[in-house]
Amino acid sequence: MSQLPPLQTGPPIPNPYASPNVGGYGGGPPPGPIKNWLVESIVSLICCGGLFAIPAIVYAAKVNGLVAAGNYQAAMEASANAKKWLIIAVCIGVVCNLVIGGIQVLAAIGAANAQ
């Protein structure tokens, strides 16, 4: 019988077909689930009535599709943009509602004093 050559014991040969852990199209997988802010954006549109909630809804709707496509970096950016526009919409909505409420209170006080 012929003898087989001894096994190599040098450094491991990298697999050229393995997926990279860093860089690439979508970066590495996220450390946890990515929040899409869709429900909060829709509630903001209904309750605050602001047009600023529409970009939040658009960005929030992109998050799950980007995660499904494996583009985690773009999904995290879309989530951050959705959160940013949600905060803007809620702040503007609260300020506008407080101003309108204050005007209504002053009008009610003025009407009560006029009688």
- Picking from 75, 92, 94, the residue whose alpha carbon sits closest to that of residue 37 is 75
The answer to whether residue 85 is domain-embedded is yes
Q: For the residues 35-56, what does the mean pLDDT come to? A: 90
Q: What is the reported pLDDT for 8? A: 64
Domain total of the chain? 1
Q: C-alpha distances in angstroms, 54 versus 67, 74, 85, 105? A: 21, 19, 8, 30
Q: What is the reported pLDDT for 27? A: 58
Q: For the residues 62-70, what does the mean pLDDT come to? A: 91
The answer to whether residue 46 is domain-embedded is yes
Look at 21 and 29; give whichever has higher pLDDT: 29
The answer to whether residue 67 is domain-embedded is yes
The answer to whether residue 8 is domain-embedded is no
For residues 115 and 106, give the distance between their C-alpha atoms in angstroms, rounded to a whole number: 15
The yes-or-no verdict on residue 25 having pLDDT over 90 is no
The answer to whether residue 52 is domain-embedded is yes
Range of the domain at 62: 38-114
